[in-house]
Structures are given as C-alpha cells and as structure tokens.
Amino acid sequence: MSEIEFPVLNVRMIDIDKVEANDYNPNKVAPPEMQLLKHSIEEDGYTQPIVTYYDEERDKYIVVDGFHRYRCAKESFKLEKIPIVTIDKDLENRMASTIRHNRARGTHQIVDMSHIVLTLTQKGWSEEEISEHLGMELDEILRLKQITGLKEAFANHKFSKSWEEFENNRKKQKYKK
C-alpha cells in the first residue's frame, strides 16, 4: 500500500483572484442545494479548503475540488481570500481526482461525464484504469462511451465473443432455408 499524503495539513489563504475554475467539471448543483451550501458556510464557516492545482506558468490555482465553495466565496460572500490546498498532478489525474471527489458525494451530468471518459480514453487510459481511478463499473464506462458516438472511444474495447456466436448462428440459419 502506498503512503497516504495529507495536503489538508498545508492549508493556505490565497487571494481569490489567483483562483479559477477548471474547464472540465461535470458536477452541477441545483439552486436549492447551492442555497444549502451557502447556508452551511454561513452557519459553520469553511470547514474544507478548496483543492487546487498550481499552474506555475500562469501563476493561477486551478480548482480540482470545491468549485461551488469557491463560487460561494466569490459571488455570495465577496471574500478576498479563500483557504486552499494544492495537489501536484497532471491533467488526466486532476480530472480523475475531481470525479472521485464529486462521485463520493453527489451526481454528475451524463453528457459531461461521457466527455471525461472520452478524454481519458484518448489520453491512452484503459477501461480498467478509468474504472479504478473514477470508481466506475465497466458497463457504466461502456454506456458513457456510447453517448459520445465516437468510434475512437471504442478503439481499445474488448467486445464479448457472444457477437461471434450470434453471427455464426445467424449464418447457419440462413443456409438452412
């Protein structure tokens, strides 16, 4: 088993203008839940930091998890600084982190999830890797790939031999006539 890291022990207050949303998060929060989050922050404060990735080239912190807490800070509370932690992962692994965080507590928009699965597939991730890192069943990954309608999503998919049996049986029946 690998050693567990504790980025939560390195919380820092960062100028909110140095933080921005990622462009791939498929998680959506309905207005009642957003209002509940705002109320929760008003009652309890920020009990969890925003998880970010530091883009050194742009000198920006990109949200990996906590987009809606970030949004509340910026839009509702007009905070100048917010608590963040950083993780250092490449884009594919940040995407996987976002999905894991979201799936552990909520739901996703199906079309957006299918684009994440397609992106990871195009980056060379196997269905088994996607399953392991995003916490999905293989049949769920297959359904999400079907939504994209793109053949490259199925490039490395291993199809069941039942199709072969079906075709063989169909040919045999055709010749019996």
Our count of domains for the chain comes to: 2
Q: Which domain holds residue 129?
A: 109-177
pTM, entire model: 0.62
**pLDDT < 70 stretches in the chain:** 1, 102-109, 149-177
Q: Are residues 137 and 88 part of one domain?
A: no
**pLDDT, the chain, mean:** 82
Give the CATH number for residue 27: 3.90.1530.10
Summarize pLDDT for 58-90 with one digit per residue, the tens.
Answer: 999 999 989 999 999 999 999 999 999 999 998
Q: Are residues 93 and 171 part of one domain?
A: no
Reduced 3-state DSSP string for the chain: CCCCCCHHHHCEEEEHHHEECCCCCCCCCCHHHHHHHHHHHHHHCCCCCEEEEEECCCCEEEEEECHHHHHHHHHHCCCCEEEEEECCCCHHHHHHHHHHHHHCCCCCCHHHHHHHHHHHHHCCCCHHHHHHHHCCCHHHHHHHHHHHCCHHHHCCCCCCCHHHHHHHHHHHHHHHC
